[in-house]
Structure 1
Amino acid sequence: QLVAGALKNPVGTSPLGEIIRRKSARNAVVVVNDLTRPTPNQQILPPLLAEIEQAGIKAEDITLIIATGIHRHHTGEENRRVFGEEIAARYKIVNHDCDRNLLSLGRLSNGLELEINRTAAQADLLVTIGVVGLHYFAGYSGGRKSILPGIASRQAIEANHKMMSDRRACLGNYQDNPVSDLMLEAARRAGVDFILNVVTQSKQDIAYCSAGDVELAWLEAVRFCEKISTVEIASRADIVIASCGGYPKDINMYQAQKALDSALLAVKPGGSIILAAECREGLGEDTFQAWIEQSDCPQDIVDRFNHRFELGGHKAYAICRVLDHAQIFLLSELSPDLVWKMYMQPVKSLEEAMSLAMERQGHGADILVLPEATKIAVTVHRA
């Protein structure tokens, strides 16, 4: 009902059917999330796709493009699991490739050349779906992120991510965030006609849905997300226990890292963070792993980032920002040697982690638990 209501009452645009008829659109691209971003696709996509078809675009002329950014491609089996058997059989589903099948849309205001997926750029109708949640340097996910980084070139993604070193590019900030601003400019340049974004609760239940303009509808979802995800605490804690919230948010360290930024907002300088993250697929990205393996200390990674940005390496840099502030104990399936190489301390159980953290911080230590850290932005109360 939330999805149907949003489609009938879009924010900042005409209803989708009217847009299709006005443009005389004969084909459509729907940009969808990859499996690293839990999305209630089987609740979102059927009513959206039905509306597109009812306005006159045939199923065979609708393409779903997976916004992989630089992530690995989906397999056919993963598409069936993520989108459902019926959608996987009825519609063409393709993985975005950040190195191929690109079209330049010119330069953005900062001089960056914007190249995006050619099929999306040439579509009569461009629609994106997304989940709005906290993001460690874009402020919030969803909306404009479907284009940059979702279906952009490697070079554009790298240039945008490099801006994460700006202090305004941080968790929960969207009003004065240079990374987010450039993403929005890219989405406008790409000509996104319509978005459908949701805010989810545990187990992917939809708490809020907005549709319409790529900026205005997204902001509606952001404001809702801000209300339910911001938690005020009296003071920072000596020990913060953080969980990613389970699979797929902890599918690998590349994704699990995001929980550390929430923990960073909550822990005292010199404190301890206990991160519970399965990481069944290891570190999750080759460049990220290379930066870790080729370093001798965290400062090596910081210096390398400041000298030359490389996508994937930015994750290693993000971890080092946290390590500069706190000790990290990691409960995962990663090998102890690899955990040590990330300058974290491996533990085999939560009990072991607590024992080590209490020993480090003292037995009168304040403890804070963040069960789904990637969904929480902590603020400290100011008297």
Structure 2
Amino acid sequence: MPAEFDLKYGDITVAVSVPEGLRTTVLSPGVGANSAGSGAPLTDPLLALEDSLRNPIGSPPLCEVVRPGDRVVVLVSDITRLWIRTSDFMAPILDHLNRAGVPDSRISICVAMGSHRKMTPDEIRRIVGDMAYERVSVFQHDIDDENGFVYLGKTSRGTPVWVNRRVMEHDRILMTGGIVHHAMAGYGGGRKSVLPGIASRDTIKANHLWVLDPDKVGIRPGVGSAKTLGNPLHEDMVDAAAMVAPDFIVNVVTDSQGWFAGFFSGHWLEAWQAGCKLVDRMYCVPIDHKVDMVIASCGGYPRDISMYQASKSFYNAWMALKPGGTLVLLVEAREGGGGEEFFKWFRYPDIESCYEALKSDFTVAGYLAFLTRYIASVVRTVIVTDMDSNLVRTMGVIPAPTVREAVETGLSWAGHDPEILVMPEAGITLPILHGETP
């Protein structure tokens, strides 16, 4: 009998059938030797938060870091990072600061959105929570305010570091955020609250260009998910954050359902690094070797809400494939590309011209479009999606109207007796070859 698998597509589940006799393995978070004993949801998140503030990593307790009457600014992520659930822990942090002698009148919250659009008042309220929104002053990083930056010098790689002047005018800087795998910086969270969070446009562009291979069309060696050692983008961010010298950090790790799995508080780098280790234990899954074919779902809505969001699934599935392998990916994409800019990058006739345009006018959306196109150039890709098929073809992939036809097409490419991996949650599953870090 054929092997049957249920994969998520938007809000529904679809059945995927693989012919009998083919070597087929399921790869999911929590399946593999690297995931043992980690990532259980916290039974009492607020108690865990308080414990992390009192017993931080690499730092005195928060109550000893701040002094009575200090002006404190708390950096928070924007509306694109609602999964961090900052609103659940912001008020307790304010309470902790109050008990340390810092009243609400001396506390500000800065939405560190980098080059993202400004938030509406309602969105800011959703980010920080009603209680915090009413208690303290909240302002947004404004990347277009030419007079709103202060120059701190250059990183070891020559990136000019311009950061938000208003943030730097505070006595203490507290960063918050969430840690996940990140296809450019290795991991989210941590130093990213500074760069790109409160950095100028020129600083962000100079930093982000480190992802591109300078010698050929492609991705610079060292850049990728779970990669920090030798990752110039990450190392450049660390340099910039060290110039700002944040006084304390509170970063969270969540499980696949969005529940808090850990709070990592303390030194802005050491505590974040500890959180990265938990992310690896939860979401890195070891594989013995790369395979001929991957059949993957992003994990359904919201991870397949757009092609922009699906780029992470493209990347993760690619990590399990042999060169020239075959990828079948389910992406509902109810919001299309995820913004007008994403598909503008596919107007270039070939990947070389897209690469050159990205070097001269780098954007994250442009890079994710380039990454998707690059992956499609090295592995054969067929996509099941609700998007217009002609638009999908501009990505260099083949659209399929049904899962059955997609699998049949993929099998026709994969050759005789292909080895197959099924990834039900490709958006959060990072395959790691045995013997490789992490």
Same fold, TM-score > 0.5, yes or no: yes
Shift of 1:142: 1.2
Structure 1: which 5+ runs fail to align?
Answer: none
Q: d(CA) in 1 for partners of 2:236 and 2:373?
A: 25
Shift of 1:167: 0.4
Q: Which structure shows the higher helix fraction?
A: 1
Q: TM-score, normalised by structure 1?
A: 0.90
- Aligned pair count? 379
User: Cα RMSD (Å) of the superposition?
Assistant: 2.4
Shift of 1:168: 0.7
User: What SS does the aligned partner of 2:227 have?
Assistant: coil
User: What SS does the aligned partner of 1:240 have?
Assistant: strand
| Matched-pair contact (CA < 8 Å) for 1:279–1:332 | yes
User: 1:112–1:89: structure 2 CA closer, same or farther, 3 Å change rule?
Assistant: same
| Matched-pair contact (CA < 8 Å) for 2:208–2:362 | no
User: 1:44–1:372: structure 2 CA closer, same or farther, 3 Å change rule?
Assistant: farther
Q: d(CA) in 2 for partners of 1:104 and 1:372?
A: 42
Deviations along 1:154-196, whole A, 9 cap, x unmatched? Answer: 1111111111122011221112221111111111111211001
User: 1:92–1:225: structure 2 CA closer, same or farther, 3 Å change rule?
Assistant: same
- 1:12 partner amino acid: G
Equivalent residue, structure 2, for 1:31: 75
Shift of 1:286: 4.9
Shift of 1:285: 4.8
Equivalent residue, structure 1, for 2:25: none
Query: Are 2:209 and 1:155 equivalent residues in the alignment?
Result: no
Determine which structure has greater relative contact order: mean sequence separation of CA pairs < 8 Å that are 6+ residues apart, divided by chain length.
2
User: 1:104–1:288: structure 2 CA closer, same or farther, 3 Å change rule?
Assistant: farther
Which of these residues, 120, 124, 131, is aligned with residue 86 of structure 1? 131
- 2:60 partner amino acid: S
| Matched-pair contact (CA < 8 Å) for 2:87–2:126 | no
Deviations along 1:224-275, whole A, 9 cap, x unmatched? Answer: 2222222112322222233334454444333321222111110122222233
Q: d(CA) in 2 for partners of 1:154 and 1:285?
A: 20
User: 1:239–1:93: structure 2 CA closer, same or farther, 3 Å change rule?
Assistant: farther
| Matched-pair contact (CA < 8 Å) for 2:377–2:396 | no
Rg bigger for which structure?
A: 2
Q: d(CA) in 2 for partners of 1:242 and 1:66?
A: 34
Query: Are 2:359 and 1:359 equivalent residues in the alignment?
Result: no
| Matched-pair contact (CA < 8 Å) for 1:40–1:205 | no
Query: Are 2:56 and 1:10 equivalent residues in the alignment?
Result: yes
- 1:308 partner amino acid: S
Query: Are 2:245 and 1:201 equivalent residues in the alignment?
Result: no
Shift of 1:64: 2.2
Q: d(CA) in 2 for partners of 1:187 and 1:319?
A: 29
User: What SS does the aligned partner of 1:202 have?
Assistant: coil
Equivalent residue, structure 1, for 2:110: 65
| Matched-pair contact (CA < 8 Å) for 1:134–1:374 | no
| Matched-pair contact (CA < 8 Å) for 2:190–2:269 | yes
Equivalent residue, structure 2, for 1:350: 403
User: 1:98–1:246: structure 2 CA closer, same or farther, 3 Å change rule?
Assistant: farther
| Matched-pair contact (CA < 8 Å) for 1:162–1:309 | no
Equivalent residue, structure 1, for 2:337: 283
User: What SS does the aligned partner of 1:272 have?
Assistant: strand
Q: d(CA) in 1 for partners of 2:113 and 2:403?
A: 33
- 2:376 partner amino acid: L
Query: Are 2:102 and 1:50 equivalent residues in the alignment?
Result: no
